[in-house]
Amino acid sequence: MSRPARIALTASAVLLFVLVSGLVARVLAAQGAERTVLQQSIAAQAAGDSKLAASLISNCPASSSCAKAVAEVVAKVKAPGQRAKVLQIELGTKASPGGDIGVARIAWRIDGRLPVVECVVVERTGNAVSGFAVRINAVSKPIQREGHCGEVSSIKTGR
């Protein structure tokens, strides 16, 4: 193989590696974005901010039944002035180059209290090339601490 052909082949391999690495980085960043939006929801609930908690759910602020349901959940779990500690997050979406929808399970607590476990319907739209957007579509009322996120009663968002 001639030297110019080897250089072209090497340059092509390096370019391909950089492109694939960039796509993988975007997929991993989308998982980080999902974790962040879940943590924002927990922080809003713990702070007692039902308006913020409702605003994190797609189409919830416009739905009075959704906003009321969120306010009921927040009233049960709030502890203003105390920080929520995440115990476990099981992401709902999978690491894939496209969009996905799934149910995340999140366990959190405030010092001196029993853990709160919720199921959250999370949707990731977009793709690894154009980028992703992550949003919450529904949040369950707290479930049993050892409970699983199968079929749970969710706060509906009007979607």
- The answer to whether position 45 is within a domain reads yes
Write out the DSSP string of 57-119: BTT-TT-HHHHHHHHHHHHHH--TTS--EEEEEE-SS-S-SS-EEEEEEEEEE-TTS--EEEE
- The answer to whether position 156 is within a domain reads no
Dist. CA 11–CA 84, nearest whole Å: 49
- The answer to whether position 158 is within a domain reads no
Contacts by 67-71, CB closer than 8 A, 24 or more apart: 69/141, 69/155, 69/156, 70/139, 70/155
- The answer to whether position 102 is within a domain reads yes
Range of the domain at 128: 3-139
The total number of structural domains in the chain stands at 1
Q: One-letter amino acid identity for 122? A: V
pLDDT at residue 151 in the model: 54
- The answer to whether position 155 is within a domain reads no
- The answer to whether position 75 is within a domain reads yes
- The answer to whether position 145 is within a domain reads no
Q: Using CA of residue 16, residue 22, residue 27, residue 31, what is the dihedral sign?
A: positive
Q: To the nearest whole number, what is the mean pLDDT of the chain? A: 87
- The answer to whether position 27 is within a domain reads yes
For 151, the 3-state DSSP assignment is coil
pLDDT at residue 82 in the model: 87
Residue ranges, the chain, pLDDT below 50: 152-159
* pTM of the predicted model over 0.75: yes
Residue-wise pLDDT tens digits, 113-136: 999 999 999 999 988 888 889 999
